[in-house]
Copies of this chain bind each other. A is one copy, B any other.
Amino acid sequence: MTAITGETRMTDAAGAPRTHDHPHEHAAVPVAPASSRLVPVPMTDVRIVDGFWAQRQAVNASATFAHALHWMERLGWIGNFDLAAAGDPPPRAGREFADSEIYKLMEGLAWEVARTGDAWAEETFRALTARVVAAQSPDGYLSTRFGGPGQAARYSDLEWGHELYCAGHLIQAAVARLRTAGEDDLTRAARRVADHIVAEFGPDGRDAVCGHPEIEVALAELSRATGDDRYRAQAALFVERRGAGRLRDAEIGSEYFQDDVPVRDATVLRGHAVRALYLSAGAYDVAIDGGDDALRAAVEGQWDATVARRTYLTGGMGSRHEGESFGDDFELPSDRAYSETCAGIASVMLSWRLLLQSGDARHADLMERTLYNVVATGPDEAGTAFFYVNPLARTVPGTPTSADEPSARAASSQRAPWFEVSCCPTNIARTVASLGAYVATVDDGGLQLHQYASSEIATRLPDGSAVRLAVRTGYPVDGAVEIEVLEAPVRAWDLTVRIPGWGAGATIESNGVRRAVEPGYVVAASGLAAGAIVRLELPIAPRITLPDPRIDAVRHTAAVEAGPLVYCLESVDAGTEELARLRLDPTVPPRRGEGDTVEVLVADEAIPGAPWPYGPDGSASPAGREPLMLVPYHRWAERGPSTMRVWLPLPEQPAGH
């Protein structure tokens, strides 16, 4: 395997790569396809020990879990299960999807137990299990919102009720538990839920789908985790049913639910972004396990089109507040970007699935971009306040959020401790806890390193031979990555690394030889023995990035990136809140500043106030240039309310010159 310029996909000397079959097994992975080109290395085989993500995993463990638990107890969302168990009539607390937040927290706790063996996490998981399971009906149905005394009937509001969505998250928590701890009360309850759904919505049951996809991906993984193919078949049935207008809502339109076009016929993601991405993940799972090449190709094509035309520089997806949805092609406004944190997580879920099949670095590149610039942007440093939306500009500073009241989901430019619709905090919790699962894969030929973090990897190749590596790096602020082989197979094997799409100029040093490599997957070295060290140098010098000219919202602007990090200018560093008057000088390359900051030269253009903002005269020529500091986008708004821009205007030429 060698990298070929312009090709990001792994190739095998022998031609087509072998696909690995994975019979039902219990590795600690979030995604376990029946077969794949790359075999995921379980999170339990990867210990992130230092740096960017280790820090976030520590905060997640020490603060975010307890924070989410506190809010959900306080607001009565967990208490809803006690009320349902007691058969109490409404009022019930929270929105129709509140149950799912408890389940996502439980999924996160399951991963956390596997990651660290933390006793509090285990205890909390068990306590929540007891309360959840007590609310289950004898026939397996489980919801605190429907079907109880004084409540609407089961499945009486499939458009908005989120019943199957909630069940899906319960099942995902159970899958995480099955793969990390084995069967317990929760996993048994989840199987009863799944059996109930199969009975209720099977080929001879209700001809219906849930307004919010999620059950598809959950049932597909439950099938993988249990070996019970009925769940995969049910997931496939839900996927096939969608797209024929079964969901009705006068105002919102069927595109919102992806109910406008069947998944296998669609060419691009559209409608509600989280819905679209969860659905795609589920559709891809059933395509892979069912050998449905047409469906698989459809999802892959949708990923390509969506990434090429409907994705933000940050990796964020969802251009519209209205319907929390994708927009049209190249509709990517900065200030009104929705880019929901959950959509970023869902995008990572989908890209990982594609990567396992494709070995195409573009899938891992987008994961990295999204992890650093959306997933890491969501929580604050303390892990107790969260962005729901992740715009690429703020033109007004916004107002501080309340520490005591849940915020509206997209109301402020500040992170909020909790939301009325609080899907993002628990989604962050489960994703950060399981991050180790996305670092590496293996195949017959060796091990592939997809994400760079100081970590210890101890795993086995498909033939059972052990590999142990120590990865040491200050990435993403430092581009040097040192990989030490601690234990190696006796047979030939390749250590493959990913050179990100921006990484032209990267070098690899191995066996005393340093060579330049191109973006894509590259065999760093072959047949390394224990004690060998490979040094990778990624070019993380700040660079200027320009947008496709079809993106109206950022015409004649430039962004600054360094390594996988997108940078931004904040008013606290600019000396003015009116950032649109500052023009980036693109002739002077940006350079590293203190710590993780970057310095650029900016000219300040005085803009005269006018009673009408349109006229024959264009911009003034900006005068003077001063250096300004940019900070990584993921940590914007950490210093109080501010205005912010990722895309900085370029100097304007007078019209006609």
Contacts and interface: CB of A to CB of B under 8 A. Distances in A.
Interface of A: 250-251, 253, 304, 307-309, 311, 313, 320-322, 327-331, 333-336, 362, 393, 395-396, 408, 411, 420, 501, 543-559, 578, 580-581, 586-587, 605, 607, 609-619, 649-650, 652-653, 655-656
B501 A612 contact: yes
A653 B655 contact: no
A330 B395 contact: yes
Given A321-B320, A329-B395, A619-B549, A655 B614 contact: no
Number of copies of this protein chain within its complex:
2
Contacts of A549: 580-581, 605, 607, 618-619, 649, 652
A655 B586 contact: yes
A9 to B, nearest CB: 12
Contacts of A581: 549-550
18 contacts: A253-B408, A308-B613, A309-B613, A320-B322, A321-B322, A328-B396, A331-B335, A544-B655, A547-B614, A548-B610, A549-B581, A549-B652, A550-B578, A552-B554, A555-B556, A555-B557, A556-B556, A586-B656
Most buried by B among A393, A557, A618, A650: A618
Contacts of A328: 335, 395-396
B545 A408 contact: no
Contacts of A550: 578, 580-581, 607, 613
A408 to B, nearest CB: 6
A333 B330 contact: no
Contacts of A586: 655-656
A328 B397 CA distance: 11
A614 B649 contact: no
Given A549-B619, A607-B548, A649-B549, A559 B250 contact: no
A655 B558 contact: yes
Given A336-B333, A655-B586, A393 B616 contact: no
Most buried by B among A250, A331, A614: A614
A652 B554 CA distance: 13
A643 B652 CA distance: 27
B615 A408 contact: no
Most buried by B among A253, A543, A559, A650: A650
